[in-house]
Amino acid sequence: MADYDGLLLDHDGVLLTLTDRATLREAALAALRDAGIERPSDADAEALSIRVTSDDLVALADRLAVEPQRLWRCREDRIAALLCEELDAGRKAPYDDVPALDGVAVPAGVVSNNQRRIVEAALDAHGLTGRFETVVARGPTVESLTEKKPEPTYLESAMADIGCANPLYVGDSESDVVAADRAGVDVAFLRRDHNADTALDSRPTYDVGSLHAVVDLL
Protein backbone atom coordinates (compact mmCIF):
# COMPACT_ATOMS: atom_id res chain seq x y z
CA MET A 1 0.00 0.00 0.00
CA ALA A 2 1.28 3.46 -0.88
CA ASP A 3 2.50 5.89 1.77
CA TYR A 4 -0.01 8.69 1.25
CA ASP A 5 0.83 12.20 2.46
CA GLY A 6 -2.60 13.75 1.79
CA LEU A 7 -6.27 13.00 1.29
CA LEU A 8 -8.43 14.72 -1.33
CA LEU A 9 -12.16 14.13 -1.59
CA ASP A 10 -14.91 15.00 -4.01
CA HIS A 11 -17.84 16.84 -2.41
CA ASP A 12 -21.20 15.83 -3.90
CA GLY A 13 -21.79 12.10 -3.59
CA VAL A 14 -18.76 11.58 -1.36
CA LEU A 15 -19.12 13.98 1.56
CA LEU A 16 -22.66 15.30 1.06
CA THR A 17 -25.72 13.68 -0.46
CA LEU A 18 -26.75 14.45 -4.02
CA THR A 19 -29.65 16.69 -4.95
CA ASP A 20 -32.56 15.12 -6.80
CA ARG A 21 -32.24 15.43 -10.59
CA ALA A 22 -35.84 16.63 -10.98
CA THR A 23 -35.20 19.44 -8.49
CA LEU A 24 -32.09 20.52 -10.38
CA ARG A 25 -34.06 20.48 -13.61
CA GLU A 26 -36.68 22.81 -12.12
CA ALA A 27 -33.93 25.25 -11.15
CA ALA A 28 -32.55 25.07 -14.69
CA LEU A 29 -36.02 25.79 -16.10
CA ALA A 30 -36.19 28.88 -13.91
CA ALA A 31 -32.74 29.92 -15.11
CA LEU A 32 -33.84 29.65 -18.73
CA ARG A 33 -36.79 31.92 -17.98
CA ASP A 34 -34.45 34.34 -16.19
CA ALA A 35 -32.38 34.44 -19.38
CA GLY A 36 -35.43 35.48 -21.40
CA ILE A 37 -36.61 32.12 -22.77
CA GLU A 38 -40.40 32.30 -22.50
CA ARG A 39 -41.22 28.61 -22.97
CA PRO A 40 -38.14 26.57 -22.11
CA SER A 41 -38.30 22.85 -22.76
CA ASP A 42 -37.60 20.08 -20.28
CA ALA A 43 -34.87 18.84 -22.61
CA ASP A 44 -33.10 22.20 -22.53
CA ALA A 45 -33.40 22.30 -18.74
CA GLU A 46 -31.93 18.81 -18.50
CA ALA A 47 -29.02 19.86 -20.69
CA LEU A 48 -28.38 22.85 -18.43
CA SER A 49 -28.72 21.07 -15.10
CA ILE A 50 -25.62 18.87 -14.62
CA ARG A 51 -22.41 17.80 -16.37
CA VAL A 52 -22.50 20.85 -18.65
CA THR A 53 -19.44 21.40 -20.85
CA SER A 54 -18.47 24.71 -22.43
CA ASP A 55 -19.30 23.30 -25.87
CA ASP A 56 -22.74 22.18 -24.63
CA LEU A 57 -23.42 25.62 -23.21
CA VAL A 58 -22.37 27.52 -26.32
CA ALA A 59 -24.45 25.24 -28.55
CA LEU A 60 -27.52 25.63 -26.32
CA ALA A 61 -27.11 29.40 -26.04
CA ASP A 62 -26.70 29.70 -29.81
CA ARG A 63 -29.83 27.68 -30.48
CA LEU A 64 -31.82 29.74 -27.97
CA ALA A 65 -30.35 33.03 -29.25
CA VAL A 66 -29.05 34.10 -25.84
CA GLU A 67 -25.57 35.21 -24.83
CA PRO A 68 -23.69 32.27 -23.21
CA GLN A 69 -22.36 34.29 -20.29
CA ARG A 70 -25.86 35.52 -19.46
CA LEU A 71 -27.37 32.04 -19.67
CA TRP A 72 -24.65 30.57 -17.48
CA ARG A 73 -24.88 33.36 -14.90
CA CYS A 74 -28.62 32.72 -14.60
CA ARG A 75 -28.00 29.00 -14.26
CA GLU A 76 -25.33 29.35 -11.60
CA ASP A 77 -27.40 31.75 -9.52
CA ARG A 78 -30.51 29.54 -9.64
CA ILE A 79 -28.56 26.38 -8.78
CA ALA A 80 -26.80 28.16 -5.91
CA ALA A 81 -30.12 29.40 -4.53
CA LEU A 82 -31.64 25.93 -4.84
CA LEU A 83 -28.80 24.19 -3.04
CA CYS A 84 -28.91 26.73 -0.23
CA GLU A 85 -32.60 25.88 0.15
CA GLU A 86 -31.72 22.18 0.19
CA LEU A 87 -29.16 22.82 2.92
CA ASP A 88 -31.62 24.82 5.01
CA ALA A 89 -34.23 22.08 4.67
CA GLY A 90 -31.76 19.38 5.68
CA ARG A 91 -32.06 17.54 2.38
CA LYS A 92 -28.39 18.04 1.48
CA ALA A 93 -26.53 16.53 4.39
CA PRO A 94 -23.29 14.68 5.17
CA TYR A 95 -23.23 10.92 4.76
CA ASP A 96 -23.26 8.92 7.99
CA ASP A 97 -19.64 7.82 7.55
CA VAL A 98 -18.14 11.33 7.30
CA PRO A 99 -17.12 11.27 11.02
CA ALA A 100 -14.63 8.55 10.04
CA LEU A 101 -12.47 11.38 8.68
CA ASP A 102 -11.78 12.46 12.27
CA GLY A 103 -9.15 9.74 12.31
CA VAL A 104 -7.21 11.12 9.32
CA ALA A 105 -3.72 12.30 10.28
CA VAL A 106 -2.61 13.64 6.86
CA PRO A 107 -3.66 17.03 5.39
CA ALA A 108 -7.04 16.87 3.65
CA GLY A 109 -8.83 18.91 1.01
CA VAL A 110 -12.02 19.01 -1.05
CA VAL A 111 -11.96 18.99 -4.86
CA SER A 112 -15.29 19.63 -6.59
CA ASN A 113 -16.81 20.49 -9.96
CA ASN A 114 -19.57 22.31 -8.07
CA GLN A 115 -19.49 26.05 -7.45
CA ARG A 116 -17.06 27.07 -4.75
CA ARG A 117 -19.69 29.21 -3.01
CA ILE A 118 -21.99 26.18 -2.77
CA VAL A 119 -19.31 23.83 -1.47
CA GLU A 120 -18.12 26.31 1.13
CA ALA A 121 -21.70 27.03 2.26
CA ALA A 122 -22.41 23.31 2.61
CA LEU A 123 -19.26 22.57 4.58
CA ASP A 124 -19.89 25.55 6.83
CA ALA A 125 -23.54 24.63 7.39
CA HIS A 126 -22.56 21.19 8.64
CA GLY A 127 -19.51 22.22 10.66
CA LEU A 128 -17.06 20.53 8.31
CA THR A 129 -14.94 23.49 7.23
CA GLY A 130 -12.28 22.94 9.87
CA ARG A 131 -11.59 19.40 8.68
CA PHE A 132 -10.06 20.56 5.40
CA GLU A 133 -6.99 22.65 4.64
CA THR A 134 -8.25 23.64 1.19
CA VAL A 135 -11.36 23.71 -0.98
CA VAL A 136 -10.81 23.80 -4.74
CA ALA A 137 -13.96 24.24 -6.81
CA ARG A 138 -15.41 26.24 -9.71
CA GLY A 139 -16.01 29.92 -10.02
CA PRO A 140 -19.42 30.79 -11.55
CA THR A 141 -18.01 31.52 -15.00
CA VAL A 142 -18.18 29.92 -18.43
CA GLU A 143 -14.39 29.71 -18.45
CA SER A 144 -14.45 27.48 -15.36
CA LEU A 145 -16.12 24.74 -17.38
CA THR A 146 -12.84 24.00 -19.17
CA GLU A 147 -11.11 23.25 -15.84
CA LYS A 148 -13.62 20.73 -14.48
CA LYS A 149 -12.71 17.14 -13.83
CA PRO A 150 -11.76 14.98 -15.71
CA GLU A 151 -9.15 17.69 -16.23
CA PRO A 152 -6.50 17.37 -13.46
CA THR A 153 -6.41 21.14 -12.80
CA TYR A 154 -8.32 21.15 -9.50
CA LEU A 155 -6.51 18.10 -8.13
CA GLU A 156 -3.12 19.61 -8.92
CA SER A 157 -4.13 22.90 -7.33
CA ALA A 158 -5.33 21.15 -4.16
CA MET A 159 -2.08 19.16 -3.96
CA ALA A 160 -0.11 22.38 -4.09
CA ASP A 161 -2.35 23.98 -1.46
CA ILE A 162 -1.83 21.24 1.13
CA GLY A 163 1.79 20.58 0.16
CA CYS A 164 1.49 16.91 -0.72
CA ALA A 165 3.12 14.87 -3.48
CA ASN A 166 1.30 11.55 -3.11
CA PRO A 167 -2.32 12.01 -2.01
CA LEU A 168 -5.17 9.55 -2.20
CA TYR A 169 -8.17 10.97 -4.03
CA VAL A 170 -11.73 9.80 -3.35
CA GLY A 171 -14.46 10.22 -5.97
CA ASP A 172 -17.77 8.75 -7.07
CA SER A 173 -17.72 9.15 -10.86
CA GLU A 174 -15.82 8.17 -13.97
CA SER A 175 -14.54 11.74 -14.32
CA ASP A 176 -12.99 11.49 -10.85
CA VAL A 177 -11.11 8.34 -11.82
CA VAL A 178 -9.87 9.90 -15.06
CA ALA A 179 -8.83 13.14 -13.34
CA ALA A 180 -6.79 11.20 -10.79
CA ASP A 181 -5.10 9.21 -13.55
CA ARG A 182 -4.22 12.43 -15.40
CA ALA A 183 -2.86 13.94 -12.19
CA GLY A 184 -0.80 10.82 -11.52
CA VAL A 185 -2.40 10.00 -8.15
CA ASP A 186 -4.18 6.97 -6.72
CA VAL A 187 -7.96 7.05 -6.55
CA ALA A 188 -10.57 5.28 -4.46
CA PHE A 189 -13.91 4.92 -6.21
CA LEU A 190 -16.51 5.26 -3.47
CA ARG A 191 -19.78 3.44 -4.04
CA ARG A 192 -22.93 5.01 -2.62
CA ASP A 193 -26.58 4.25 -3.38
CA HIS A 194 -26.49 6.41 -6.52
CA ASN A 195 -23.53 4.60 -8.11
CA ALA A 196 -23.62 1.15 -6.51
CA ASP A 197 -23.98 -0.59 -9.87
CA THR A 198 -21.89 1.77 -11.99
CA ALA A 199 -19.58 0.02 -14.45
CA LEU A 200 -16.40 2.01 -15.02
CA ASP A 201 -14.39 2.22 -18.23
CA SER A 202 -11.38 3.42 -16.25
CA ARG A 203 -9.90 1.29 -13.49
CA PRO A 204 -9.59 2.95 -10.05
CA THR A 205 -6.79 2.05 -7.67
CA TYR A 206 -9.38 0.97 -5.10
CA ASP A 207 -13.11 0.26 -5.16
CA VAL A 208 -14.57 0.93 -1.69
CA GLY A 209 -17.93 1.03 0.02
CA SER A 210 -17.40 3.63 2.74
CA LEU A 211 -15.18 6.38 4.08
CA HIS A 212 -14.19 3.96 6.85
CA ALA A 213 -12.52 1.85 4.15
CA VAL A 214 -10.80 4.97 2.81
CA VAL A 215 -9.35 5.80 6.22
CA ASP A 216 -8.06 2.22 6.47
CA LEU A 217 -6.13 2.77 3.22
CA LEU A 218 -4.25 5.65 4.84
Q: What is the mean pLDDT of residues 65-72?
A: 95
pLDDT the model gives residue 2: 77
Contact 14, 168 (CB under 8 A): no
Strand partners, 136: 111
Give the pTM.
Answer: 0.93
Rounded CA separation 177/182 (Å): 9
Tell whether the model's pLDDT for residue 1 goes beyond 70. no
pLDDT at 50 (0 to 100): 87
User: CATH topology for 6-17+93-217?
Assistant: Rossmann fold (3.40.50)
What are the pLDDT digits (tens) for 70-127?
Answer: 999 999 999 999 999 999 999 999 999 999 999 899 999 999 999 999 999 999 999 9
Angle ∠(190,115,65) on CA atoms, nearest 5:
120
CA 110, distance to chain mean position in Å, is 9
